[in-house]
């Protein structure tokens, strides 16, 4: 397709690249966005008709048409997969996704995150010889890749200060730290830690680091390991770019913790447990970085319901702390919770069918008005309107086709 060619929706790749450039410029000094990952901000919230998401940044300027870019992660090595990071656009008013293009050719970009200044995209390369790649959004130029020193990196996030990139190597159970220079490009790895203890949990053969994020206090970095049933807390040496462990919290054996999300109050964490189909509320001490694991709770996908086995994937919290959402793979739903007792309690309100197969990842739009679900097995992205009144989810239309959709990042 030519750069200025139009598809059936009247969508122009040249126009969308221009929109990306304007988005990158307008996003300067705003928090990092990720595929469902948390972001910290001191910026005032934008006026919105829905609870603003803790995983998105408020106030990003819209293009003249009102449409926004949507970046799509995939597995390029999978049958029927994509050719790299996909590029589409969505209408914040209707939730409709249109267009189908390519931001950049990147190997197995299964998870995506944007630098706090909004100008650079980072992707994992989820392969045996793991790497992370930087792409400049304004002109889609690949700025290079760096080895993560481990196998199958599946998650990454940018430190709020913008100088360091963290990645989690699922296959080798390790965490990598890379410096970020002024251009957004990555330097050689400065840190690598491996989860050698405790021993693997039931049914696991080794550690499997699945997520690494900075706590809202900014002083601690938390890593979730599915293989060791543990959430590790580290301190980052911001001069050397290294991680030092300060504490660890163990879930019950065989829980298989996969992803966590912070309540905006900064004192509670919600952990999605993939292996035992539960979600857990944990207390968090910002002073020490210690996590206290609570009792497991229902995902709304009881055994025997839906298609059978269920594997929770990711949890999100609205920025006002009123509601939480959990992606259920297998049950193929999004569970909705009321957040109570200043974050200390989750109350299950019900589940909503996702309209696709195996929702691997969910993410809010920057204003919190929409929720996107990337459905891996059906190769689709579903979009929901988030109700300001009760956190209810209403699907906005037919799911959008995207090859082996494993990450949707709305800008």
DSSP-derived secondary structure for 145-165: EEE-SSS-EEEEEE-TTSSEE
- Region of residue 163 (phi > 0: left; psi between -120 and 50: alpha; otherwise: beta): alpha
User: Is the predicted pLDDT of residue 17 greater than 80, yes or no?
Assistant: no
Q: What is the mean pLDDT of residues 95-120?
A: 96
Strand partners, 135: 121, 142
Number of C-beta neighbours around residue 357 at 10 A? 16
The answer on pLDDT for 29 being more than 90 is: no
Residue 176 · residue 166 · CB < 8 Å: yes
For residue 253, give every residue at least 6 positions away whose Cβ sits within 8 Å of its Cβ, in sequence order, or none.
201, 202, 229
What is the pLDDT confidence band of residue 342, given thresholds at 50, 70 and 90? Answer: very high
Looking at per-residue pLDDT, the higher value among 15 and 104 belongs to: 104
- Kindly tell me if the per-residue pLDDT of 375 is higher than 70: yes
Whole-number pLDDT of residue 34 = 79
Mean pLDDT rounded to a whole number for the chain: 88
Residue 28 has pLDDT above 70, yes or no: no
Pairwise CA distance, residues 55 & 378, whole Å: 25
Average pLDDT rounded to a whole number, residues 358-380: 98
**What's the confidence (pLDDT) of residue 52?**
41
**Mean pLDDT score, 141-169:** 98
Is the model's pLDDT at 307 over the cut of 60?
A: no
Q: Which residues contact 137 (CB under 8 A, 6 or more apart)?
A: 20, 21, 23, 24, 103, 114, 118, 119, 120, 121
User: What is the model's pLDDT at position 130?
Assistant: 98
- Range scoring the smallest mean pLDDT among 79-83, 204-208, 225-229, 301-305: 301-305
pLDDT at 35: 78
Q: What is the pTM of this model?
A: 0.89
User: What confidence category does residue 26 fall into, taking pLDDT thresholds of 50, 70 and 90?
Assistant: low
pLDDT by residue (tens digit) across 239-271? Answer: 999 999 999 999 999 999 999 999 999 999 999
Under 8 Å between Cβ of 39 and 57:
yes
Cis preceding-peptide flag for 198 (omega within 30 of 0): yes
Specify the pLDDT at position 374. 98
pLDDT score at 20: 75
Ranked by mean pLDDT, which of 19-33, 283-297, 300-314 comes out on top?
Answer: 283-297
Residue percentage of the chain with pLDDT more than 90? 81
Q: What is the pLDDT of residues 214-246, one digit of tens each?
A: 999 999 999 999 999 999 999 999 999 999 999
Q: Left if phi > 0, otherwise alpha if psi is -120 to 50, otherwise beta: which for 217?
A: alpha
The confidence score (pLDDT) of residue 23 equals 67
Q: Decide if pLDDT at 175 tops 70.
A: yes
């Amino acid at each position: 397709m030519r750069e200025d060619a139009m598809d059936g929706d009247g969508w122009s790749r040249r126009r969308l690249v221009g929109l990306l450039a304007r988005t990158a410029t307008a996003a300067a000094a705003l928090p990092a966005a990720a595929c469902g990952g948390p972001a910290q901000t001191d910026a005032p919230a934008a006026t919105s008709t829905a609870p603003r998401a803790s995983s998105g940044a408020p106030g990003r300027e819209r293009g003249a048409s009102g449409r926004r870019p949507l970046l799509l992660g995939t597995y390029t090595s999978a049958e029927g997969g994509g050719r790299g990071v996909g590029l589409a656009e969505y209408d914040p008013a209707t939730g409709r996704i249109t267009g189908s293009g390519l931001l950049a050719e990147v190997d197995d970009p299964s998870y995506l995150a944007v630098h706090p200044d909004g100008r650079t995209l980072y992707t994992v390369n989820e392969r045996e010889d793991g790497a992370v790649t930087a792409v400049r959004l304004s002109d889609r130029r690949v700025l290079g890749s760096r080895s993560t020193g481990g196998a199958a990196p599946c998650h990454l996030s940018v430190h709020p200060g913008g100088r360091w990139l963290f990645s989690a190597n699922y296959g080798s159970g390790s965490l990598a730290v890379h410096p970020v220079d002024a251009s957004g490009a990555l330097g050689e790895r400065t840190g690598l830690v491996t989860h050698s203890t405790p021993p693997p949990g039931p049914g696991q053969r080794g550690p499997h680091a699945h997520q690494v994020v900075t706590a809202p206090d900014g002083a601690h970095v938390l890593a979730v390991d599915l293989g060791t049933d543990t959430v590790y807390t580290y301190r980052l040496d911001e001069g050397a770019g290294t991680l030092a462990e300060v504490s660890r919290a163990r879930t019950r054996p065989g829980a298989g913790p996969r992803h966590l999300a912070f309540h905006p109050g900064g004192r509670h964490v919600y952990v999605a447990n993939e292996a035992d189909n539960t979600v857990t509320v944990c207390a968090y001490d910002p002073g020490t970085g210690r996590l206290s694991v609570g009792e497991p709770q229902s995902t709304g996908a009881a055994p025997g319901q839906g298609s059978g086995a269920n594997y929770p994937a990711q949890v999100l919290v609205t920025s006002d702390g009123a509601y939480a959402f959990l992606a259920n793979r297998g049950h193929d739903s999004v569970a909705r919770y009321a957040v109570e007792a200043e974050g200390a309690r989750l109350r299950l309100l019900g589940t909503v069918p996702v309209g696709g197969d195996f929702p691997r990842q969910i993410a809010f739009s920057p204003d919190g008005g929409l929720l996107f679900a990337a459905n891996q097995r059906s190769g689709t992205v579903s979009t929901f309107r988030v109700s300001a009144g009760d956190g209810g989810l209403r699907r906005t239309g037919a799911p959008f086709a995207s090859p082996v959709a494993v990450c949707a990042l709305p800008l």
